[in-house]
Copies of this chain bind each other. A is one copy, B any other.
Amino acid sequence: MTGSMTERSHDLDALFFPRSVAVIGASTKELSIGNRIIRNLQDFGYTGPIHAINPKGEEVRGLRPHISILDVPGDVELAHVVIPAGYVPAAMEECGRKGVKVVIVNSAGFREVGSEGEELERQVLAIAREHGIRVFGPNCQGIINSDPGVRAYCNFTFTRPLEGSISIVAQSGGVAEMINQRFVELGAGVRMYASNGNASDISIPEVIRYWGDDEATKVIVVHVESLSDPTAFLEASVEVAARKPVLGMKAGRTPEGAQAVSSHTGGLARQEVVTELLFDRAGMVTFRDVEEMCQAAVAFSSQPVPTGNRVGLITNTGGPAIIATDELVEAGLVIPPLSENTRLVLREQLHAAASIANPIDVLATAGAEHFRSAVEALMDEEDIDSVYINFVTPFFVDVESIARELVEANRAGRKPIVCNLMTDRKEWAGTVKILREGGIPTYSFPEMAAKSLAAMTRLHLLRSRESGEPVTFEDVDSDRAREILDDAWESDSAWLSSDQVYGILEAYGLPVASWKTVCGAPEAVAAAEEIGFPVVVKADSPDIVHKSDAGGVAVDLKDAEAVRAAVERMEAALEPVIPDYLVQAYLPGGMELIAGAKAEAGPGHLIMFGMGGIHVEVLKDVAFALTPVTPPGAERMIDSLRSRPVLEGVRGRNGVDREALLDIIQRLSQLVSEQPCIKEIDLNPILAFEDRVIVVDARIGL
């Protein structure tokens, strides 16, 4: 498919490998988009014919003009539309009659300007569909393809990428162009580039899939602002990320005030969490800094993914190696000691004053043979998965021969190498060139080299983790739960009653404390006697969300009198609300945990699990996952908590029943997956003991 102008099997071939391009709105004005696109195509060396459509019949950049696209002799595969929004429907109609395959609508004035523009966008799309035209945009930059067979710069930006293997897709043209510029500055080559603006038809997932099949694309860089179809995004990314590194970043992670906690699960679960979980599930390497993503992409484009997290360091100057060590260790990488055998070998081959440890300090006076010995030693060392090199270029050694030696060692591709190259890049341009052409990614600072290696190691960890299959618990009575939910749905109440909530939990095998719902003090006393003392009494009304704040909870009631007094106190406190009361066995001494789920557009539900009480609100020690949660997924949720050692038992205190926690997380996942009408569910608190775990309060919203 891609990479060729002749075999055409994919819709997007006409976008990225157009045989001919027309610009509707070609302009004689130098500083117009309708002129710039033609200039870009010409300057970049587009291999096909370019047609200028200019209603005034003016010649544009030496091209014979056509009044209409219909006047163009021969086929037009790709058309740019660079005219006021109101004229776009007519232009699209003409493109249809001409048999154009893809139209890039650069013009703005559509969905982004409000409802009128939205209507216009729908209209344009409808015309395109009628004619089988695929639309890129509107309100977009376009694409670039540096493939020598096409050299398509179908875009009005101004930075010419070098030919290479990194492909970039971003909603925001500004961000895409910034990334493109950075690759030029870094001397890194770009394969294809796409920024689709309003994305009315051709979507980012579709582009990712296309590049998945493009052999010349080695790395894909993705920047999104919002995911309009998370499921499609996930499906495409999972498939492609299994084959080549997909690097991703999402903008807009701090909608200020999103921290305001309206309810536990709701407040902690933000859109950003969902996107990061999606990226994670897709096996994408996630970033929070564009520069770091660009620099890592350079490493991914030429280096293999490490097969572990153990780094060997080589340096010819002390200080920067310490900085690299700090950064690598903080990123979770391991710097193991060298084996005795390796140390013996190096002791013989390096300078006498060299430091034979990890980092290996070969000294500033080290020549090519010393670097070679050190690199070979790390390549051979079993406990090392990747190699970090700090290379300052002293004037008194032959640094170009060192660079050639490193390139030679890299050629075998046994383990990934990154190099912090500390030099004057103008004076030592020859050395820079040898390393660059030899495929060794170079950095100006130890931190960035370390971060790039850490990113490559993250991909290894993502790929090697166990994903598992979700468990379906056979003892679940989903029909009973559905009945309760149907009833609740009909009653038109946003929150389920305690009866309903506990009924659903029981139907899904979620362990709850013995309970009974009653009206008034006498019934409460009777229920308490039936359940057995001590008990908890909680006011139960859809009008009360946070019961304990409202004075609606009394715990450790040891006898009938205490129950009666508690109910009477609540009656007074909650007036004019007249609640039911939930009487429940009181279980002292457990560790407070919390779990919950919240429906998300697209990817199902977001599951939350973590420490309860002050931890959830103040320390926010909670983990998230998307449904369905598999057994290893549940394990990872528990393991990612900062408080994990507390769950496992610290300082003589016993840990809690981990199996039961895993069970609860997975049953909760099954519940919301099978009952998608549940908008929100909180199990709070869950009390965990050494030998069992019990849900003692919960609420469910539709």
A362: shortest Cβ distance to chain B, in Å?
Answer: 13
A392 to B177, Cβ gap below 8 A?
A: yes
- Which positions 408-422 of chain A face chain B at CB distance < 8 Å? 422
Query: Considering only CB atoms, which chain B residue lies closest to A324 in the complex?
Result: B251
Distance in Å: Cβ of A85 to nearest Cβ of chain B: 12
Q: How far, in Å, is A252 (CB) from chain B's closest CB?
A: 5
Q: Considering the chains assembled together, what is the distance between the CA atoms of A173 and B320 in angstroms?
A: 9
- Decide if A36 touches B396 in the complex (CB within 8 Å): yes
Chain B residues within 8 Å of A185, by CB: 425, 444
A329 touches B172 (CB 8 A): no
Which A243-288 residues have a C-beta within 8 angstroms of B?
251-254, 256
Counting CB contacts under 8 A, is A123 at the interface?
no
A643 CA to B620 CA, complexed, in Å:
10
Q: What 1/0 mask marks residues of chain A from 623 to 660 whose CB sits below 8 Å from any chain B CB? A: 00000000000000000001111100011100000000
Residue of B with least CB distance to A159: B424
CB distance from A407 to the nearest CB of B (A): 22
A395 touches B36 (CB 8 A): yes
Q: Is the CB of B174 within 8 A of A422?
A: yes
Asked if residues A31 and B395 are in contact (CB atoms below 8 Å), the reply is: yes
Q: How far is the CA of A149 from the CA of B310 in the complex (A)?
A: 51
Q: Which residue of B lies closest to A179 (CB)?
A: B445
Q: Contacts A32-B396, A642-B619, A643-B614 given: A251-B158 contact, CB under 8 Å?
A: no
Which residues of the other chain, B, contact A651 by a CB distance below 8 angstroms? Answer: 546, 548-549, 614, 617
Pick from A323, A446, A646 the residue with the most CB of B within 10 Å.
A323
User: Is B174 within 8 A of A318, CB to CB?
Assistant: yes
Q: Which of B171, B252, B353, B650 touches A617 (beta carbons < 8 Å)?
A: B650
Indicate if A572 sits at the interface (CB-CB under 8 A): no
Is A291 in the interface zone, CB < 8 Å from B? yes
- Which residues of A (149-195) have their CB < 8 Å from a CB of B? 156, 158-159, 170-175, 177-178, 181-182, 184-185
Are A319 and B445 in contact (CB-based, < 8 A)?
A: no
A517: interface (CB < 8 Å): no
Instruction: Give me 18 other A-B pairs in contact (C-beta within 8 A), A178-B444, A182-B445, A614-B643 excluded.
Output: A36-B396, A156-B395, A172-B320, A174-B317, A174-B392, A175-B319, A177-B422, A181-B424, A223-B319, A225-B319, A251-B323, A254-B330, A256-B329, A290-B446, A291-B445, A548-B651, A618-B644, A619-B619
